[in-house]
């Protein structure tokens, strides 16, 4: 994967020293393969939500049950439409590329489309894709590529301010919430930057560190690198990962929580979900109550920042009737004493009001 370095972006103060940047060739064809649920299609759906102007179409295979609302296209139709990249829009468990996808991706590369992957495996590990790209001159871009030199975390206090989104589970809106918070902050004239920690966020922002592929000893150091010392009034809005209560992915959540040293936190929650996503092969793990998740996060956040506090709860109410949503918001606000919003439907103004003490 060929990535520009920070030196190629002189004068762009919002990119911390040491981070790499990624530039995708637009427009994109979002590849959903045979994905069956929106939770695992979060990469494609995230790009469509936040970079809709760059998304020309979608390619869905047999058995796919996700529709991103884009025109369905074949590879030849995408080429005719001037598409520059095919982006794997699925975040599969374990970050693998199923065999059933290889032919489609190789065909795209053979047609000259850059192939963009946020998986843990490398595109060049698949001979069919590599040979197709070599023949056409297409690029293979693996987004989950962390910086080569990451320091061990120190826990030392840094200047500037930080807000971290955390979750009761995976795929509950931590990225969406962070982006919506940054947008509201900037609309108010605040000095704020979104800091991406996952493959989709990096594709959206153009820079970041994929925390879930950093060696565990360096996770907190990577978070410190991602959000370095800044001016006193600057806010880094940091995309959370995983969940402290998830038996599979709690490690990255804790490393990020320690390294981010958040001044403020926002809990993200999907009220329609009773059990953790992708946990257990025969055993179901219940999602913790909102109030319990808040206390759990504060315990570890205050280890590195005694002043850490929650300023809001973000919920996904897309599947709820308005009457049910109103009752749910009222219930959570009574339980937590915090403003509760759907960041896409309601915006995040009430959370920023709480952050600023209004």
What does the pLDDT profile of the chain (358 residues) look like in tens digits?
333 333 332 333 356 766 768 889 999 999 999 998 888 899 999 999 999 999 999 999 999 999 999 999 999 999 999 999 999 999 877 788 999 999 999 999 999 999 999 999 999 999 999 999 999 999 999 998 888 889 999 999 999 999 999 999 998 999 999 999 999 999 999 999 999 999 999 999 999 999 999 999 999 999 999 999 999 999 999 999 999 999 999 999 999 999 999 999 999 999 999 999 887 667 889 999 999 999 999 999 999 999 999 999 999 998 888 889 999 999 999 999 999 999 999 999 999 999 999 6
Q: Are strands 161-167 and 234-238 parallel, antiparallel or unpaired?
A: parallel
Give the homologous superfamily in CATH for domain 161-355. P-loop containing nucleotide triphosphate hydrolases (3.40.50.300)
For 9, counting Cβ atoms within 10 Å of its Cβ (0-12 exposed, 13-18 middle, 19+ buried), the class is middle
Q: How many helices (H) and strands (E) does the chain have?
A: 11, 11
Query: Which DSSP string do the residues of 67-104 spell out, in sequence order?
Result: --SSPB--HHHHHHTT--EEEE----TTS---HHHHHH
- State the pLDDT at residue 40: 87
Could you give the 3-state DSSP secondary structure of residue 210? Answer: coil
- Closest listed residue to residue 209, CA positions, set 150, 263, 258: 150
Whether the Cβ atoms of residue 348 and residue 181 lie closer than 8 Å to each other: yes
Is the preceding omega at residue 321 within 30 degrees of 0, hence cis? Answer: no
Question: Quick one: how far is CA 320 from the chain centroid?
Answer: 23
Domain boundaries in the chain?
23-142, 161-355
Taking the C-alpha atoms of residue 226 and residue 214, their distance in angstroms, rounded to an integer, is 12
Tokens representing residue 334 in the block: 């009574």
Q: Under CATH, which number does the domain 23-142 receive?
A: 3.40.50.720
Taking the C-alpha atoms of residue 75 and residue 88, their distance in angstroms, rounded to an integer, is 14
The conformation of residue 150, written as its DSSP 8-state character, comes to: -
Q: In what side-by-side order are the strands of the sheet with 264-269?
A: 191-195, 234-238, 161-167, 264-269, 309-315, 340-341
- State the pLDDT at residue 2: 33
Taking the C-alpha atoms of residue 350 and residue 345, their distance in angstroms, rounded to an integer, is 13
Name, in order, each residue with C-beta under 8 angstroms of 108's C-beta and a sequence gap of 6 or more.
29, 31, 75, 78, 86, 115, 138
Whether the Cβ atoms of residue 297 and residue 250 lie closer than 8 Å to each other: no
């Amino acid at each position: 994967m060929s990535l520009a370095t920070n030196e190629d972006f002189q004068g762009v103060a919002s990119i911390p020293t040491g981070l790499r940047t990624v530039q995708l060739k637009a427009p994109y064809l979002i590849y959903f393969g045979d994905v069956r649920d929106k939770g695992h299609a979060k990469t494609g759906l995230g790009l469509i939500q936040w970079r809709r102007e760059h998304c020309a179409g979608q390619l869905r295979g047999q058995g796919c049950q996700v529709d991103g609302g884009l025109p369905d296209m074949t590879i030849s139709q995408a080429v005719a439409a001037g598409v520059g990249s095919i982006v794997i829009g699925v975040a599969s468990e374990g970050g693998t590329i199923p065999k059933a996808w290889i032919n489609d991706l190789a065909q795209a590369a053979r047609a000259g489309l850059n192939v963009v992957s946020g998986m843990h495996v490398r595109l060049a590990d698949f001979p069919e894709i590599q040979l197709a790209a070599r023949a056409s001159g297409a690029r293979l871009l693996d987004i989950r590529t962390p910086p080569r030199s990451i320091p061990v975390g120190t826990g030392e206090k840094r200047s500037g301010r930080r807000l971290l989104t955390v979750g009761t589970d995976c795929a509950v809106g931590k990225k969406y919430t962070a982006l919506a918070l940054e947008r509201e902050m900037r609309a108010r004239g605040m000095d704020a930057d979104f800091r991406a920690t996952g493959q989709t966020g990096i594709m959206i922002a153009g820079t970041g560190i994929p925390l879930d592929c950093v060696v565990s000893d360096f996770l907190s150091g990577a978070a410190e690198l991602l959000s370095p010392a800044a001016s006193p009034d600057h806010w880094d809005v940091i995309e959370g990962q995983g969940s402290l209560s998830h038996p599979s992915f709690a490690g990255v959540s804790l490393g990020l929580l320690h390294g981010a040293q958040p001044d403020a936190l926002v809990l993200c929650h999907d009220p329609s979900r009773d059990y953790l996503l992708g946990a257990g092969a025969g055993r179901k793990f219940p999602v913790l109550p909102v109030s319990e998740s808040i206390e759990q996060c504060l315990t570890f956040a205050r280890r590195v920042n005694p002043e850490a506090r929650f300023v809001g709860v973000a919920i996904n109410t897309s599947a709820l009737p308005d009457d049910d949503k109103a009752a749910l918001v009222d219930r959570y606000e009574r339980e937590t004493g915090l403003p509760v919003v759907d960041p896409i439907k309601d915006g995040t103004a009430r959370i920023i009001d709480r952050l600023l003490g209004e």
